[in-house]
């Protein structure tokens, strides 16, 4: 699949994996539509992309937890470019708190962004994607295969995303719609800095060693390669592949491995 001249909508495009994907798609000749809440940052990125790669780039201020914003994003894309070929549902937020200690608003916010944001955007792009035999991508996580301690809301949202895309793929087996779920594993980005604490406020400092993680740029290259190859699923790390395999065959043993891993993070929630 050649990306030259394709129109790609990317949510959560003001930083991290979303921003890196915007540059990588543009580098390969695609026109890009960047969506996020930080409009000024989006405008800076779109201008830089246009200057570097001579493709068209559009910034649309979008809060994916708001259904009307997602509808407007797709209508604006069609009004500007006349088509949508690829949708990358990347916008997401994490959380870090034990369930017994948290305000339920934490789970509501995480689900509104990670799950409902994906559903809204996909709903308002689906007809265009079907008409063009396009691609819809969900940026999920290994947390969508294995529940992680202190991340009940995050894991729940990613399990929901995985199930949503699994059903969507089967519904459209005869329609040539490409559905891909990408699970990057731990990625060096600001997602842990803005992760919600038990009172639904950004926690600030990351609880993990970011330097040892895969970069957003590496993740973006794999995602764009996956779109070009129309892959079904991307699990990008050895740790992730091992987790998925062990969950199938020896989940009880994996429970202990996950517990031991997370009790070693900074300021651990479990011990």
**Which residues are part of the catalytic machinery?**
154
Distance (Å, whole) CA 62 – CA 198: 26
Residue 94: name the closest of 163, 38, 148, 19 by CA: 148
Q: Which residues pair with 35 in a beta bridge?
A: 11, 60
Contacts of 135 (CB under 8 A, 6+ apart): 1, 85, 86, 87, 129, 177, 178, 179, 180, 227, 230
Residue 265: name the closest of 195, 215, 210, 196 by CA: 210
What DSSP character marks residue 196? B
Distance (Å, whole) CA 234 – CA 173: 19
In this structure, the strands spanning 135-139 and 86-89 are: parallel
Helices and strands in the chain: count of H runs, count of E runs: 9, 9
């Amino acid at each position: 699949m050649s990306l030259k001249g394709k129109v790609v909508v990317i949510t959560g495009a003001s930083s991290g994996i979303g921003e890196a994907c915007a540059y990588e798609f543009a580098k390969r000749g695609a026109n890009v539509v960047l969506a996020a809440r930080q409009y000024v940052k989006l405008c800076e990125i779109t201008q830089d992309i246009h200057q570097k790669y001579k493709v068209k780039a559009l910034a649309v201020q979008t809060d994916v937890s708001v259904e009307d914003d997602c509808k407007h994003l797709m209508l604006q894309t069609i009004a500007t470019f006349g088509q949508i070929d690829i949708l990358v549902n990347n916008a997401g937020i994490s959380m870090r708190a034990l369930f017994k200690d948290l305000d339920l608003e934490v789970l509501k916010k995480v689900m509104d962004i990670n799950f409902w944001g994906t559903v809204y955007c996909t709903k308002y792009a689906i007809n265009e994607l079907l008409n063009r035999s396009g691609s819809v991508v969900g940026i999920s996580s290994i947390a969508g295969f294995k529940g992680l301690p202190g991340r009940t809301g995050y894991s729940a949202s990613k399990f929901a995303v995985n199930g949503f895309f699994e059903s969507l793929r089967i519904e459209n087996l005869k329609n040539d719609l490409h559905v891909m779920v990408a699970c990057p594993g731990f990625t060096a980005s600001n997602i842990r800095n803005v992760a919600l604490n038990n009172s639904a406020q950004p926690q600030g400092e990351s609880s993990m060693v970011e330097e040892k993680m895969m970069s957003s740029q590496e993740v973006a290259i794999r995602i764009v390669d996956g779109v070009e190859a129309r892959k079904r699923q991307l699990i990008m790390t050895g740790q992730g592949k091992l987790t998925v395999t062990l969950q199938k065959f020896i989940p009880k043993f994996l429970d202990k491995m996950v517990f031991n891993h997370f009790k070693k993070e900074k300021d651990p929630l479990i011990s």
